[in-house]
Chain A
Amino acid sequence: MYSFEPNEEQQMLIDAVGKYAENDLRAAAHDAEENREIPKKLISKGWELGLLQASTPESYGGFGERSAVTGALAVEEMAFGDLAGALAVMTPSLFATPILLGGSEEQKQQYLPDIVGGDWAPYTAALIEYAIDFDPTALKTTAKADGDSYILNGEKAFVPFAKDAEAMIVYADLNGVTQGFIVPKNAGGLSVSDEREKLMGLNALPMYRVKLDNVTVPAINRLGGASGHDFDLILSSMRIASAAAAVGLAKASLEYSKDYAKEREVFGVKIAQKQAIAFMLAEMATEIEAIRLLTWEAAWKLDANKEDACAEAYLAFTGACDMAMMVTDRGVQVLGGHGYIREHPVELFMRNGRGFPMLLGLAIV
């Protein structure tokens, strides 16, 4: 059967996350971006919503089952508040969720109860590389088997909270296939840049370069153990999360510019009463809904183990990148000159909106 309504539990989650996103994340977003810092208390409050806990089974310290659909709903709400804040709150998932999806039993036992049961702690992952042709399925960072170990070499970029990370998953090319490796803090040969990444947007989120110079990890640290794991599944979960975040961000831009258009007067009427503005808003709403549904379907297919889930996750993500740019650009345009001023959030939405094509790997459901 088709059905387009979140269930009761999901609705409760949407309401709770939505409230936090609007009252806490959004309220802090401007200063966080300007000061390049998200208050620790804010992150803790978001962590207490229990998104990761709710998608981790009891046997590993959580209280639920992972669902990409539920994850997508939560990420959309979270990103509606502020993208940087949302990514910060969910950073530990970058480490925990791949373990849930592809980790060995030992890896699950070793890491999940601590992460899920504790306060927010900087566990992270390193996927992105600083290259014009960055492609998660053809990484330049390499892993080579060496007896009972793997040796990692390369350079990673945009790694959130890398400076203080307790441990991170580093994705590297192993014989032509992308695989994740658990790299603990203080591993020999691992170095994190002192300088944070300086980006067009997302400045509140502390991100770093990470260098791997003959980093040696035991073979059991390969995600999934000796036989490894299905990277497509992880990549698809990342794509769905990115698409959902794009939907949330775009919705934020639409809602803000819509409210503004209903206030701002021109020639004796509100600008929203002019078709030139009203049609832009109608098209924004239509494109957001289109990608939201595509994202939901991809997530549902992933949950239901459908054969074409990964293909659709790719389509949803690709469509979301364009949609986010189109919508956030118009959000600024609706406000005109005021949209360009940093007092209004639409210019930040737009700067964040261009990030999605390269920000794959900063969120996962």
Chain B
Amino acid sequence: MSIEFEAPKPVVKMQTVLQTVAENMMRSVSREFDENEHTIPWDYIEFMHTAMRSMGGGSLAPQEEKPKEDAEKRPPIGYQMLAAQIEMLSWGDVGMYLVTPGGGLGAAAVQAAGSPDQKAKFLARFADKKPTFAAMCMTEAGAGSDTSAIRTRAVLDEKTKEWVINGEKIFVTAGDKSFTEYEKSGKGFIVVWASIDPSAGRAGMRAFVIESGTPGVQVTKLEHKMGIRVSDTASISLVDVRVPFENLLGSPTVEKTTKGFKGAMATFDATRPLVAASGIGVARAALEFVKEKLKENGVQIRYGLPRSKLTSVERDVIDMEIMLRSAWLMVLKAVWMADNKKPNALESSMSKVKAGDVTTKITQKVVEILGPLGYSREFLAEKWFRDAKITDIYEGTGQINRLVVARQILGYSGAELR
């Protein structure tokens, strides 16, 4: 090992390809889909699906490493690749990135908590002919950051060996596309978090795969949002939903441990830096845009000068570059750790804290610097401002991630630092 910052060649190659996609398939329609909320960008979805299939997978998720005999052993870069892809697609349009077909968070949960059989059964579909979606249903009206307050219940019907699930889920990203079958999409699924034993608290929490079209499930609402409008955010009600026994991810028996809950949290360790990467893509788009506009208007950024000699705008731009680059490096470290199977709960949450901060700060500052041009819907800066804000909220708010970071550095349990 050593300290190195050379991007792996396959990553660089992928970035070049995706930049073209981002420019031609995303930026060009970014405004249109923002103005027409809940319209589905099928052209982009089908293009991405075809492209990903031709590369051997149907999803952005890291492919299972197949051990190659005789092949030279290369360090794994699955998560590094994924972070770079997400950053670039989000640079194109973060809302559209969120409707990229493939497993999304639903598949990530299966990846993290499923058995080999379950992975084979549920994940194969993403390589099928039609683009397919999956979603994670965690949040409820009364349970946001405090996921242990989840009220959705799963009860085993001993006679039929089916789980019967009741509850209400909100804020399900891609929930509609994952559950509702469209002519152009394949059969997806949602992963629903529910308690199999409320008296056990977090230890009783389990995730269930529910196939699209299952009776009792209803998409009741699509949210109208500040940003990422092209991405559907669904409310889903579950009334006596019957799910096969083997659709439970992990162990069906409740021990007095929080293993089940930790499964969910392990998913977050893997996905937080990816959400951070997505925010950073938006921030980079905004920063590049403001630099371009400043240049057009004859404003030079004089790098190398001491602080006291810089103009206010120069300071802002330089500060934004520091924020953006350092946040990206934190993402890289967190995903590098994930690739190398190093525990990364701390680095993962730190990267999310930092990215949440810098993406909101950068996009807000860019709108400010651009003045009327920034506030106008003629340009995308105001859209990036709206899109960026979600980075500091979903996948654990900035505050929840600070709590995780604090517990990690202090060596405190959840009980010691609430």
Enumerate chain A interface residues (CB-CB to B < 8 A).
1-7, 10, 69, 73, 132-135, 137, 258, 261-262, 272-273, 275, 278-279, 281-283, 285-286, 289-291, 293-294, 296-297, 300-301, 304, 310-312, 314-316, 318-319, 321-322, 357
Q: Hey, what's the 0/1 contact readout for B209-223 against A, CB within 8 Å counting as 1?
A: 000000000000000
Q: Per a CB cutoff under 8 Å, which of B6, B306, B353 touches A134? A: B306
What range describes how many residues of B lie at the interface?
Answer: 35 or more
User: Residue B304 at the A interface, CB < 8 A?
Assistant: yes
Q: Chain B residues near A318 (CB, 8 Å)?
A: 307, 318-319, 322
B407, closest chain A residue (CB)? A278
Q: Can you name the residue of chain B whose Cβ is closest to the Cβ of A296? A: B3
A-B contact pairs, 15 of them (CB 8 A): A261-B410, A262-B410, A273-B416, A275-B418, A278-B406, A278-B407, A285-B405, A293-B326, A294-B322, A300-B4, A312-B325, A314-B304, A318-B319, A319-B323, A319-B326
Query: Using Cβ atoms and an 8 Å threshold, which residues of chain A touch B151?
Result: none
Pick the contact of A285: B80, B318, B350, B416 (CB < 8 A). B350
Chain A residue numbers with a CB within 8 Å of B327 are: 290
Which residue, A3, A135, A310, A311, has most C-beta atoms of chain B within 10 A? Answer: A3
Say whether B308 contacts A272, CB under 8 Å: no
| B333 and chain A: residue at smallest CB distance | A4
- B412 engages A3 (CB within 8 Å): no
**Contact, CB under 8 Å: A1 / B326:** no
Q: Is the interface of B mostly helix, strand, loop or mixed?
A: helix
A286, B4: Cβ atoms closer than 8 Å: no
Q: Does B189 contact A (CB under 8 A)?
A: no
If the complex has contacts A258-B409, A281-B406, A282-B405, are A2 and B354 also in contact, measured as CB distance less than 8 A? no
- A3 engages B330 (CB within 8 Å): no
Question: With A1-B77, A7-B3, A275-B403 given, can you name 15 additional A-B contacts, CB distance below 8 Å?
Answer: A2-B7, A2-B336, A3-B4, A3-B336, A4-B336, A4-B337, A10-B2, A262-B410, A278-B407, A278-B410, A281-B406, A282-B353, A282-B409, A285-B405, A304-B6
Contacts of B309 in A (CB 8 A): 133, 135
Report the bound CA distance from A6 to B406 in whole Å.
25
Task: Find residues 389-418 in chain B having any chain A CB closer than 8 Å to their own CB.
Answer: 399, 402-403, 405-407, 409-410, 412, 416-418
* B303 CB within 8 Å of chain A: yes
Q: How far is A128 from B337 in the complex, measured between Cα atoms in Å?
A: 41
Q: Is the CB of B306 within 8 A of A135?
A: yes
How far is it, in angstroms, between the C-alpha of A315 and the C-alpha of B314 when the chains are bound?
Answer: 12
Whether a CB of chain A sits under 8 angstroms from the CB of B56 is no
- Bitwise interface map of B from 352 to 363 toward A, beta carbon under 8 Å scored 1, else 0: 011000000000
Q: Which residue of A lies closest to B332 (CB)?
A: A2
Q: From residue 229 to 250 of chain B, which have CB atoms closer than 8 A to chain A?
A: none
Known: A1-B75, A4-B336, A319-B322. A290 touches B329 (CB 8 A): yes
A272 CA / B412 CA spacing, docked (Å): 9
A5 pairs with B326, CB closer than 8 A: no
Interface centre among A134, A273, A316, A318 (most CB of B within 10 A): A318
User: In the bound complex, how far is the Cα of B262 from the Cα of A201, in angstroms?
Assistant: 47
Q: Hey, which bits of chain B sit against chain A, CB under 8 A? A: 1-8, 75, 77, 80, 303-309, 318-319, 321-323, 325-327, 329-330, 332-333, 336-337, 347, 350, 353-354, 399, 402-403, 405-407, 409-410, 412, 416-418
Looking at the assembled complex, report how far the CB atom of B78 sits from the nearest CB atom of chain A, in whole angstroms. 13
List residues of chain A with CB within 8 A of the CB of B77.
1
Query: Using Cβ atoms and an 8 Å threshold, which residues of chain B touch A134?
Result: 306
Contacts of B2 in A (CB 8 A): 3, 5-7, 10
Alpha-carbon separation in the docked complex, A259 to B329 (Å): 28
Task: Verify B353–A283 contact, CB threshold 8 A.
Answer: yes
How many Å from the CB of A245 to the closest CB on chain B? 17
Q: Tell me the complex Cα distance, A76–B350, Å.
A: 20
Closest to A7 in B: B2
A281 touches B330 (CB 8 A): no
- In the complex the two chains form, is B406's CB within 8 Å of A289's CB? no
- Most chain B beta carbons < 10 A, residue from A262, A279, A316, A322: A279
Identify the closest chain B residue to A304 (Cβ): B6
Cα A6 to Cα B350 with chains together (Å): 20
Q: How far apart sit A312 and B304, CA to CA, in the bound complex (Å)?
A: 10
Task: Give every chain B residue within 8 A of A290 (Cβ-Cβ).
Answer: 326-327, 329-330, 354
Q: How far is the CA of A73 from the CA of B306 in the complex (A)?
A: 25
Nearest-neighbor residue (CB-CB) of A293 within chain B: B329
A-B complex: 5 closest residue pairs judged by Cβ atoms = A290-B326, A278-B406, A293-B329, A319-B322, A5-B1
Q: Measured between C-beta atoms, what is the minimum distance from B350 to chain A in Å? A: 5
B401's nearest neighbour on chain A, judged by CB, is: A282
Contact of B350 among A7, A286, A291 (CB under 8 A): A286
Kindly name the residue among B5, B354, B409 whose own CB sees the greatest number of chain A CB atoms within 10 A. B5
Chain A residues closer than 8 Å to B350, beta-carbon distance? 285-286, 289
Q: In the complex the two chains form, is B409's CB within 8 Å of A297's CB? A: no
Question: Could you tell me if B353 and A286 are in contact, using CB atoms closer than 8 angstroms?
Answer: yes
Cβ distance A267 to chain B, nearest Cβ, rounded Å: 14
